[in-house]
Structure 1
Amino acid sequence: MSSNDKYSTPLSSRYASEEMSHIFSVRNRFSTWRKLWLTLAKAEKSLGLDIITDEAIAQMEKHLIITDEELEASKKQEAIVRHDVMAHVHVFGETCPAAAGIIHLGATSCYVTDNADLIFLRDAYDILIPKLVNVIDRLSKFALTYKDLPVLGWTHFQPAQLTTVGKRATLWIQELLWDLRNMVRARDDIGLRGAKGTTGTQASFLSLFHGNHDKVEALDQKIIELLGFEHAYPVTGQTYSRKIDIDVLAPLVSVGATAHKFATDIRLLANLKEVEEPFEKSQIGSSAMAYKRNPMRCERVCSLARHLSGLFNDAVQTASVQWFERTLDDSAIRRISLPSAFLTVDILLSTMLNISSGLVVYPKVIERRILSELPFMATENVIMAMVEKGESRQECHEQIRVLSHQSSANVKLQGGENDLIERIKKTSYFKPIWDELDVLLDPSTFIGRAPEQTEKFINNDVKKALAPFAKYINDETVQLSV
């Protein structure tokens, strides 16, 4: 059967990066098992187990990357023994005959399955964090570029006071900074299960070292060091606690929420024709409507972010129903949810990186919308200017109220423009400030400290947060899959 005749997840076949797909690939999983068996053998040999020979170590080192033929042989063996780990022990032993008798010595299946998963989770975070850093960096440059450009603010998606295009971007960036903090924390908290034995008591290793507790502890420490981790979990059952999966997935799901909000804002702005995601020269927006410029990148982000949020419940439910030292009802769901979560965030960040690198701003459209709403916002300024000329605030308020309602009716009932200022200019009562109206309506006087807030936030908070990751920041163009 051709691969085209079988379902494959679009996460890996269509969207995710090659490096993230590789981490959760079949070859990497079983090659990592071999690395773990080699690490165990080296650690045991260094602590005095003479039955592990140099030849055994050499053969294992030579065959760490599992071949296609060995993968096929493992499938056939598993069909016989109905146990994936033992199938691979058997095939690895056939490939490395000098090591056949000592592969997996003292270990339980979770020595390879759980430790491998923890390695994958750590390595996957090492792919995501640099991508997030670059999203933040590019949005920060965007924010600084447009920190002074006034734009109509929205609350309840109703016209509100003005802000700036750059200030609005800082709202996205701040949430991404929190995501970065949470992701780094989760990544650094990941430890190894280590060599803990069948129920976590290390009984098999204590027997192997003839009751020498110090050597058992030294074995665990050597494995930690050889695999490049800072620590192992001090106690485990047969598995590492599935609560760790909650801690690992929580920051990913939170990134999804940030991504969804960011992409939704861009989609709404695209409808307003104020800001758009990149649109390639030959890109087609609709098969029927040739003029369409659909925000497909942001729609992809929203779609996948919804999928991501559901995966968190998998981790929560799985952790809550584990019995005593372990059950196996965690296995199948974790094979799906853990890779899916990392693949999904990988896609979200790659897409956001593409979007943030090419956001298109339309200042004239933004200005036109401001001018359609600004007269109403400027009424307080008009009233204060008239009071300074000696007029009664109450009388001025009533004059403005009447003209505002007339202008509103012209907009809503007649489909006309907001002509409040023209009405003010034609009302003799306001003659004392006619010459000041242009100044009173200058959009830059309605944005408060938005430019200053933006500049301070980027130069202080963002700069400080990204400083440890400076080596990852680049200007590479991000090409998306179809």
Structure 2
Amino acid sequence: MGAHVIDLVMLKNNFGTAEMREIWKDTNRLRQHLKIEGALAQAEGELGIIPSAAAQKIQAATQTTTNYSVEDIAAEAARIKHSFMATINAIQKEAGAAGEYVHFGATTQDIVDTGAMLQLKQSYLLIRKEVQDIIERLAKASKSYQYTTMVGRTHGMQALPTTFGYKLAVWLDEFGRHLERLLEMKDRVFVGNLNGAIGSYASFGPQGIEVEKRTLELLELGVPTISWQSARDRFSEYASVLALISGTLGKIGNEFYNLMRTEINELEEGFSKGKIGSSTMPHKRNPAAFEGLASLTPAVLKSVALIHESMHVEHERDAMSWRLEWIALPEINIYVSAQLASLKAILGDLRVNEAGMRTNLERQQGLLLSEKVMFEVGKKLGKQTAHHLVYECAMQAFEEQRLFAEILLEQPQIAKNYTKAEIEAWLVADDYIGLAAEKVDQVIAHLKERKLLKEQG
């Protein structure tokens, strides 16, 4: 049983995925620490720093977590008041006489930081895959609704016609940039650190640099040019990229939430038989998935702020900044995993109400096309004059709740220069979507050119 929403049995799947939770569990954290201690022993054995036989024993003792009890290690850690010494003691016991060479030359932060990088790399691979999947789904949906005309809104109010495919293509393009950022940061971020108490390799002797290089090669992590114990920018960069991804996810959730409002009624999240919207109002079909998607972004951003706080390090290192990462890194990855999984599910069963979109296009009785009218009138009367005339007509139509076309035909200068048929032709929303449909194709072509999108079948 848990004490945090990430682990509460009845809530945890709203806040993270099982796959991502496994990465940040005690058992996997211990597994990565054992893996690092085994790789360190192997490297030191190969370089003759510790006996080869001892290195082999330590490697054998760190292959699996089976013979280790997280609960026992935790109990000892609480007793001795040190976060890692109990793990070293457990490995020493498992390795027998060879245990004298466990953790040889390393400091706690070497192992814990490098372990965090291994966990972060596992998380990254899941997130990158999900982002790629969302790109594929958004591309397909953008193409499907490329010509589905809907109201575009600015400041929360009706502005001009657009297409639903165009709206999706804006997000698709955004996700393309997120994927590029993920790919670009990989080699820069996933770098280990094994250089002793203050990063000088003193405890490893003259072969310290070789020990670090070989150990990190075995762990498939990059090698630092210098210790980063007091330089936490790699974690901050990773967190910043996830903040951008979460920001887009939250924005999409909020937009879908608004488009599902009863009064707008252009979208609905998938609805299955028996799904309950309210415990007291039987009619409710609530946007629960949309709300869940939007709700996690503030939590992610607050955790990312904690990661940025951890960049403030005292002297060569301290535990004050370090502990903020222990809190925030699991939360960021777990929350973003939930958002990505949620959007995938939403896109897989999104109900697009084209009739509702059409109703909203006609709701203002032609006013949505005032810009079109202004430019057409401006061809004969001048753009600024047209703006003044069309503004007066638009305000009258709005206040009197009359057809925009009727008011335009009552305006002497407009009526003198244009026929009823011409004016009515200007008020067709489908004919004033600009290059929205073409832009969908351009975004898809761009992503394919950048090899960020597979060829659509």
Are 2:335 and 1:335 equivalent residues in the alignment? Answer: no
Corresponding position of 1:52: 52
Q: Secondary structure at the match of 1:290?
A: coil
* 1:290 and 2:285 are equivalent in the alignment: no
Residues 113 and 240 (structure 1), Cα distance of their counterparts in 2 relative to 1, 3 Å cut: farther
- Within a 5 Å distance, the mapping from 1:31-180 to structure 2 comes to 31-49=31-49, 51-53=51-53, 57-58=56-57, 60-61=59-60, 63-67=62-66, 70-180=69-179
Question: Scaled by the length of structure 2, what TM-score is found?
Answer: 0.88
Match of 2:419 among 426, 429, 433: 433
Match of 2:255 in 1: 265
2:111–2:194 contact (8 Å) kept in structure 1: no
User: 1:327: how far off?
Assistant: 1.1
- Residues 1:286 and 1:83: Cα distance change in structure 2 (over 3 Å): same
Matched with 1:279 is 271
Counterpart of 2:405 in structure 1 is 421
Distance 2:388 2:128 in 1: 57
Give the structure 1 partner of residue 345 of structure 2.
354
Of residues 210, 224, 238 in structure 2, which corresponds to 1:218? Answer: 210
Conserved in 2, the CA contact under 8 Å of 1:246 and 1:315? yes
1:479 maps to which residue?
A: none
Whichever residue aligns with residue 421 of structure 1, its letter is A
Q: Percent identity?
A: 22
In 2: Cα distance, 1:312 partner to 1:395 partner = 51
Structure 1 window deviating more from structure 2 (328-337 vs 7-16): it is 7-16
Indicate the residue corresponding to 2:5 in structure 1.
Answer: 9
Deviations 1:236-257 (A, max 9, x none): 26x2522222112111111121
CA–CA separation in structure 1 for the residues paired with 2:147 and 2:272:
28
Q: Is the 8 A contact 2:278 2:284 kept in 1?
A: yes
Aligned mates of 1:112, 1:400 — CA distance in 2: 70
Partner Cα separation in structure 2 for residue 254 and residue 154 of structure 1: 23
User: Is residue 60–residue 99 contact of structure 1 (8 Å, CA) maintained in 2?
Assistant: no
Q: Does residue 453 of structure 2 align to residue 463 of structure 1?
A: no
For the aligned residue pairs, the C-alpha RMSD in angstroms reads 3.2
User: Is the contact between residue 61 and residue 94 of structure 2 (CA under 8 Å) also seen in structure 1?
Assistant: no
Alignment check: 8 A CA contact 1:27 1:65 kept: no
Aligned residues: 449
Q: Which residue type is aligned with residue 457 of structure 1?
A: V
Give the 3-state SS of the residue equivalent to 1:152 in structure 2: strand
Q: 1:220 to 1:364 in 2, by over 3 A?
A: same
Distance in 2 (alpha carbons) for counterparts of 1:103 and 1:114: 18
Q: Secondary structure at the match of 1:182?
A: helix
Ranges in structure 2 where 5+ consecutive residues have no aligned partner? none
| Alpha-carbon distance in 2 for matches of 1:23, 1:394 | 62
Secondary structure of the residue that 1:300 maps to in structure 2? helix
Contact conserved, 1:193 with 1:233, CA < 8 A, in 2? Answer: yes
Give the AA of the match of 1:109: T
Shift of 1:437: 5.1
Deviations 1:430-460 (A, max 9, x none): 89733445533322211111101111111x2
> Displacement of 1:345 after TM fit?
0.9
Distance 1:227 1:435, change over 3 A: same
Deviation at 1:383, TM superposition (A): 7.5
Instruction: Please tell me the residue identity of whatever aligns with 2:358.
Output: E
Secondary structure at the aligned position of 2:320 is classed as coil
The 1:437–1:352 alpha-carbon spacing in structure 2 relative to 1, beyond 3 Å, is same
Aligned to 2:299: 307
Label 1:185 to 1:380 Cα distance change in 2 as closer, same or farther (>3 A). closer
Whole-angstrom distance in 2 between the partners of 1:315 and 1:39? 28
Indicate which of 421, 426, 433 corresponds to 1:447.
433
Q: CA deviation at 1:64?
A: 2.5
Looking at structure 1, the residues matched to 76 and 375 of structure 2 have their Cα atoms a distance apart, in angstroms, of 86
Q: Is the 8 A contact 1:252 1:341 kept in 2?
A: yes
Rate the CA distance shift 1:325–1:380 in 2: closer, same or farther, 3 A. Answer: closer
Deviations along 1:319-371, whole A, 9 cap, x unmatched? 12x11111111233221111111111111111111112222111111112112
Q: Deviations over 1:87-111 (max 9, x none)?
A: 1111122222143111111111122
Q: TM-score, normalised by structure 1?
A: 0.84
Shift of 1:192: 3.1
- Whole-Å Cα distance in 1 between the matches of residues 376 and 238 of structure 2? 58
What one-letter code is carried by the residue in structure 2 that aligns with 1:303?
A: S
**Residues 50/100 of structure 1: CA separation in 2 closer, same or farther (3 Å cut):** closer
The AA in structure 1 aligned to 2:300 is L
The residue aligned with 1:18 is 18
What is the rounded CA distance, in whole Å, between the counterparts of 1:18 and 1:474 in structure 2?
30
